[in-house]
Amino acid sequence: MKEISQEIEGEVKGVGPLPSPSGFEDFFTGNYDRFHRFASMRGLDHHSAEDVVHQVFLEVLRRWDQVSSADQPMAYAYAILKMRIVDSHRERSRRAARELAMSDIPEPSVPATESTQAIAHREVLNDALVSLPERQRETVLLYYVMGYSGREVAELLGVSEATVSGHLLRARRSLARILRLPAIR
C-alpha cells in the first residue's frame, strides 16, 4: 500500500520525488474521490476500493501519454477502473473459496467503522443496483455516485444525453419499485 502511494506521489526508492507528467496531478486530484465512490458502490469495502483506485491511477500514470492523447481520457481511465473492480471481486471470491476450504465456518467480517444498520442499508441498495440492467446501473453510478453531468456520462458511455436521461428515468422507476418507494413518473 505504501509503495502504491509513493509511486502515485512520484516517489521511487532511493530517487526521491519525480515530476508528474503534465496534467496528471490535476487528473488524479479531480477524479480520485469519484473513482473511490464508484468502486465502493460496486461492492468494494473502503480499503479494497482505495487499493483498486490506486492501481487504476498507477496504470493511468504509466500510460499517461496514451491516456492524455486519447479522445476521451476519462473514458479510458473509467474502463481501467471497471476492469480493476472486476479483478478485485474475482480475487475476493478466490480468497473466500480458499478460506472456506480451510475452515468449516467462516467468520463474518464487519468493518468496525460501520454500524450493522448502515451495512444492511448499503447491501439493500447494492442488491437493488445489481438487479438493474448493466447500462442503467453504470449510468446511475456515474451520474449519482461519481457526480458526472448528463453530458459527461453520455461522453463516457458513447451515447446521447437523451439516452442517459432515459436510462436514469428507467433506473429510478425500477429502483423505486424494487425498494417499494412511491412511483416515479
Q: What does pTM read for this prediction?
A: 0.59
Would you say 83 and 70 are in contact if contact means Cβ atoms under 8 Å apart? no
pLDDT higher than 90, residue 58: yes
Segment 69-95, tens digit of pLDDT: 988 999 999 999 999 998 888 887 777
Is the domain defined by 115-185 classed in CATH 1.10.150.530? no
Question: Which CATH architecture group holds 1-109?
Answer: Orthogonal Bundle (1.10)
What DSSP designation does 17 have?
Answer: E
Segment 14-50, tens digit of pLDDT: 555 556 788 899 999 999 999 999 999 888 889 999 9
Segment 115-151, tens digit of pLDDT: 677 767 777 777 888 888 989 988 988 888 778 899 9
What DSSP designation does 151 have?
Answer: H
Would you say 23 and 31 are in contact if contact means Cβ atoms under 8 Å apart? no
Residues facing 12 on adjacent strands: 16
pLDDT at 13: 55
Q: Which three cell numbers stand for residue 87?
A: 479483478
Phi, psi of 11 (to 5 degrees): -110, 140
**Rounded Cα–Cα distance for residues 35 and 51 (Å):** 11
**Rounded Cα–Cα distance for residues 14 and 164 (Å):** 48
**Rounded Cα–Cα distance for residues 38 and 120 (Å):** 19
**Amino acid identity, position 78:** Y
Say which residues have a Cβ less than 8 Å from residue 179's Cβ, sequence separation at least 6.
124, 125, 128
Residues facing 16 on adjacent strands: 12
Q: Which residue has the higher pLDDT, 113 or 136?
A: 136
Domain ranges in the chain? 1-109, 115-185
**Amino acid identity, position 59:** E
90 class by beta-carbon count within 10 Å (0-12 exposed, 13-18 middle, 19+ buried): exposed
